[in-house]
Structure 1
Amino acid sequence: MKTYLVGGAVRDRLLGLPVSERDWVVVGATPEDMIAQGYRPVGKDFPVFLHPQTREEHALARTERKSGHGYHGFTFHTGPEVSLEDDLWRRDLTINAIAEDAHGRLVDPHGGRQDLDARLLRHVSPAFAEDPLRVLRIARFAARFAPLGFRIADETQVLMREMVAAGEVDHLVAERVWKETERALIETQRAGLPAPAFPSVYFRVLHDCGALARVMPELAALHGVPQRADYHPEVDTLIHTLMCVDAAVRAGHGLDVRVAALLHDLGKAVTPSAELPRHIGHEHRGVPLVRQFCERLRVPANARDLALVVTREHLLVHRVRELRAITLLELLERLDAFRRPERFELALQGCECDARGRLGFENCEYPQTDWLRQARLAAQVSNADVLADGFSGAAVGEEIRRRRLARLADWKQIQG
């Protein structure tokens, strides 16, 4: 029985990055051997055990054979006869197929160390094509390690395109697609990297191999859709969308805002061709597409709801100083500014990302956010004051709204 450190822990140490967790592979043992030594079984699909002291995961060396479609379409085999080299052969990328023994010696049968030095993401074997999730994983690794100069090997890019053409990614379940996408959206600031990683790389890799059109067709449909160059020097709507997501990362906004930035312009894909490059009404056409995207991929409710708000309201927020008092009040109400000020703030952040996700406007001023915050404060009305004035029942809400409108009208007049 021999134990080897494998995967990300070896890779990150060789890159000089902090190691956050360690995974181990055990060769020459049976499940009974592991249990007898105090390991606790936790694996569902194949034998994985927790070390009795460190609680780190130890998996028995295994081989796998394609037996169906999708991420779960595999049959696994473990046994004392399975070698370390057998186990490493089934892994996805050469940089993840390096093992280290108890004496610190590397076992690297596929040239992973050389690919680390060359900053190359290269598949281990043709078996890579048997697992469609690896297309999303390699896109996520490309985004994560872009600050270090990594790129995908040409032959791996060819293989990814072949996998998409063969329909393999069509069998990915929604939960796995969203999980990888969520990780790509939030894995942006890792210790040891010279700069933040940007999620746009993840989506560009998927687009280049054709996978984006299969797993996120609403997003892929934005490619090549023109916008007015005076507002959008980048012109292409997909480029603008990915710039918005990167703007959210630069500002340090959370996952919900990043999702809203990703989805806010889906309606531009269905603008009638005769109206291009203008997109009148795209905010309303986008709402059902955002719902469709979020329902299919099972996006968390908070992120979905914020994306719907930003999609529907971002144009009004951009031109908020032009609005009449009643329209401004209705906007504040739809943004839930009075009941949920924290959601109101997130919506403003999403709209700001839209403004800064444009070529040459990455650091532009966006006074609309402060202006709306001031409008919200100007329209504050105390429930207690309304009750003290003798209002009750439904009349309380009506009077609150009347007073808010009056205060907004006075405030707007002062603002000029």
Structure 2
Amino acid sequence: MKAYVVGGAVRDALLQRPVNDRDWVVVGATPAEMIAAGYTPVGADFPVFLHPQTHEEYALARTERKTAPGYKGFVFHTSPEVTLAEDLARRDLTINAMARDDDGALVDPFNGQRDLQQRVLRHVGEAFAEDPVRILRLARFAARFDDFTVAPETEALMQQMVTAGEVDALVPERVWQEVSRGLMESKPSRMFEVLRRCGALARLMPELDRLWGVPQPPAHHPEVDTGVHVMLVLDMAAQMAAPLTVRFACLCHDLGKGTTPPEEWPRHLAHEARSEDLARELALRLKAPTECSELAQLVAREHTNIHRATEFNARALMRLIERSDAFRRPQRFKEALQACEADARGRTGFQDRPYPSGPRLLKAVDAAMALPTKPIASGAMAKGAQGPAVAEAIRLARLQAVAQALDEHLDEG
């Protein structure tokens, strides 16, 4: 029985990146021998064990055979006779198909170290085509290692997989798992660029795919192309260290522009409402978390109004704040403002511009929320007000507080 560190831990160490966890492959052992040695079995589909002291995962060396379409259609085989090279051969990319033994010697049967040095994402073998999740994983690695290129033969193989319908067999949960992880990488736009080039994006997220080639007014969008703009916005959100909710909202905020009739280009009147509907539909189809879906819909609907907040008086700001449910959900509103800032700065030449709409809206919300509402409600009820009339008294008091914070005169009416 011999154990090897495999996969990401070996890759990241060679790249001099932090190694957060280690996976192990065990050659020459049976499940019974692992249990006898004190390991705890945890694998549901194939034998995986937890080390008795470190609790790191140790998997028995295995091979696999494709038996049905999709990413679940595999039969795994483990035995003491399965070699390390056979186990590594079933992995996705050469940079993930390396191992180290107890003495630190590198085992690299598929030239993964060379591909690391040359900054290439390359599939190990033809078995790559048997699992469509590998397309998503490769795209995610492209977002993480943004100076790597995809090997031409690997890109051609992914295109063949899409044409064969393999991507259509992916279930929403698996797609979201990979997409959400890719959104949180350092340059998430590269994930969608890779998916688009091989044709997978059109199958998985057609609402997003159709944005490329759709023009926008160059005065506001020097990059012109809507798809290019959305990718700039997404990467700006990553630069701002935005959470997943914000990044998904950035991805969805302009989806409605893809449904604007060509004769109306480059203007996109009422695209906000269409974007809201498409964001809701996409989140539902991907089974995205509720908080991602709700923020995406809010940003899609209101981002144009939020951009114009510097033009709004206290009454208009109050209406925007109320539509956004900012008093009940202030954190979500702050995330909406972050997504809108990424949108404003995610344009060619606009990257370093300030975004005054955000501070103006936050100032208004803070002024309104600092107002003690209980005395206002009590005073209104003492005058005979009930229900909606009490709520209106609170609203008018908040409006006055917003106007004072903005140093505006609030006229009657």
Normalised by the length of structure 2, the TM-score is 0.94
Q: Which residue of 1 aligns with 2:307?
A: 318
Alpha-carbon displacement from aligned partner over 1:295-348 (angstroms, at most 9, x marks no partner): 010111111111111110011111123335443221111222222222221111
Residue aligned with 1:64, SS: strand
From 293, 297, 318, give the equivalent of 1:308: 297
Q: Which residue of 1 aligns with 2:25?
A: 25
Asked if residue 256 in structure 1 is aligned to residue 264 in structure 2, the reply is no
Deviation at 1:412, TM superposition (A): 5.9
Contact 2:222/2:348 (<8 A) preserved: yes
Q: Which residue of 1 aligns with 2:408?
A: 414
- Give the 5 Å matches for 1:12-411: 12-146=12-146, 149-187=147-185, 197-380=186-369, 381-391=371-381, 393-394=386-387, 395-408=389-402
Residue aligned with 2:320, SS: helix
* Compared CA separation, residues 62 and 275, structure 1 to 2 (3 A): same
Instruction: Count the aligned residue pairs.
Output: 405
Aligned-CA RMSD value: 1.7
Name the amino acid aligned to 2:272: E
Q: Which residue of 2 aligns with 1:3?
A: 3
Which range moved further: 338-347 or 25-34?
A: 338-347
Alpha-carbon displacement from aligned partner over 1:228-272 (angstroms, at most 9, x marks no partner): 111101111111111111111111221111111111111111112
Q: Which residue of 2 aligns with 1:192?
A: none
Contact 2:377/2:393 (<8 A) preserved: no
Deviation at 1:408, TM superposition (A): 4.4
Deviation at 1:101, TM superposition (A): 1.4
Residue aligned with 1:414, SS: coil
* Compared CA separation, residues 163 and 409, structure 1 to 2 (3 A): same
Contact 2:3/2:27 (<8 A) preserved: yes
Residue aligned with 2:24, SS: strand
Structure 1 unaligned spans of 5+: 188-196
Deviation at 1:130, TM superposition (A): 0.4
2-structure distance, mates of 1:117, 1:180 = 25
Deviation at 1:49, TM superposition (A): 0.6
Which range moved further: 46-55 or 372-381?
A: 372-381
Name the amino acid aligned to 2:282: F
Name the amino acid aligned to 2:335: L
2-structure distance, mates of 1:8, 1:95 = 8
Which range moved further: 92-101 or 125-134?
A: 92-101
2-structure distance, mates of 1:33, 1:95 = 31
1-structure distance, mates of 2:314, 2:9 = 58
Deviation at 1:364, TM superposition (A): 1.1
Structure 2 unaligned spans of 5+: none
**Percent of aligned pairs with the same amino acid:** 56
2-structure distance, mates of 1:272, 1:415 = 43
Alpha-carbon displacement from aligned partner over 1:149-179 (angstroms, at most 9, x marks no partner): 3211111111111111111111111111111
* Compared CA separation, residues 327 and 390, structure 1 to 2 (3 A): closer
* Compared CA separation, residues 320 and 415, structure 1 to 2 (3 A): farther
* Compared CA separation, residues 373 and 80, structure 1 to 2 (3 A): same
Normalised by the length of structure 1, the TM-score is 0.94
Deviation at 1:221, TM superposition (A): 1.4
Deviation at 1:413, TM superposition (A): 6.7
Residue aligned with 2:221, SS: coil
Residue aligned with 1:91, SS: coil
Which range moved further: 85-94 or 10-19?
A: 10-19
Deviation at 1:134, TM superposition (A): 0.4
2-structure distance, mates of 1:244, 1:2 = 48
Q: Which residue of 2 aligns with 1:193?
A: none
Which range moved further: 162-171 or 334-343?
A: 334-343
